């Protein structure tokens, strides 16, 4: 008598296969996210500029730049999950020009012990979603974020300076 044997698949085998497929897909998605994060870590804020700003070299810049006073900057350092270091430079800008500023561009620099720049970036603080202009005798917190540094970088000091401005 010939008996036909039929193999019945075990429900545990199909669950195991499903779990393996889901794990592989999740690993690919996580790897893609880390890849994108690694690419954005290396970007810099150096390309930020204030269009139509009064800049160094113009007579108006020399006349008013000394009247836009920056307090002594402070730096906050934090490590990123992927190993880099981010420094947030902050200061307070005071407008004593006698006119209303409609644009303010500030450059932040981390320098080494020889005074050479380690990393620098520029931030446009006005206009922003919070503040469209800065009246005379008013103040504004200005921040520049610098990323892409490592523990090996010689970070001795920080500097912030006004590089451009516009009047209303």
- Report the first-to-last Cα separation within the chain, whole angstroms: 101
Contact 85, 78 (CB under 8 A): yes
Contact 126, 140 (CB under 8 A): yes
Read off the pLDDT band of 39 (50, 70, 90): low
E strand or H helix at 32: helix 11-41
Is residue 127 reached through a cis peptide bond, with omega within 30 degrees of 0 on the bond before it?
yes
pTM of the model: 0.68
Span 151-165, pLDDT tens digits: 888 888 999 999 999
Instruction: Please report, for residues 5, 110, 167, the alpha-carbon distance to residue 101 in angstroms, rounded to integers and kept in the order given.
Output: 88, 26, 5
Span 46-80, pLDDT tens digits: 457 888 899 999 999 999 999 999 999 999 998 88
């Amino acid at each position: 008598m010939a008996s036909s044997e039929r193999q019945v698949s075990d429900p545990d085998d199909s669950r195991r296969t499903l779990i393996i497929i889901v794990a592989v897909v999740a690993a690919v998605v996580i790897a893609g996210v880390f890849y994108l994060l690694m690419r954005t870590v290396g970007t810099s804020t150096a390309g930020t500029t204030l269009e139509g700003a009064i800049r160094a070299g113009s007579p108006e810049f020399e006349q008013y730049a000394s009247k836009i006073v920056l307090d002594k900057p402070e730096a906050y350092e934090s490590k990123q999950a992927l190993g880099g270091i981010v420094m947030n430079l902050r200061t307070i800008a005071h407008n004593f020009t006698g006119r209303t500023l409609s644009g303010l561009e500030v450059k932040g620099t981390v320098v080494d012990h020889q005074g050479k720049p380690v990393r620098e970036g520029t931030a446009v603080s006005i206009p922003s979603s919070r503040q469209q202009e800065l009246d005379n005798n008013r103040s504004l917190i200005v921040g520049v974020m610098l990323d892409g540094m490592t523990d090996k970088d010689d970070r001795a000091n920080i500097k912030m300076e006004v590089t451009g401005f516009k009047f209303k």
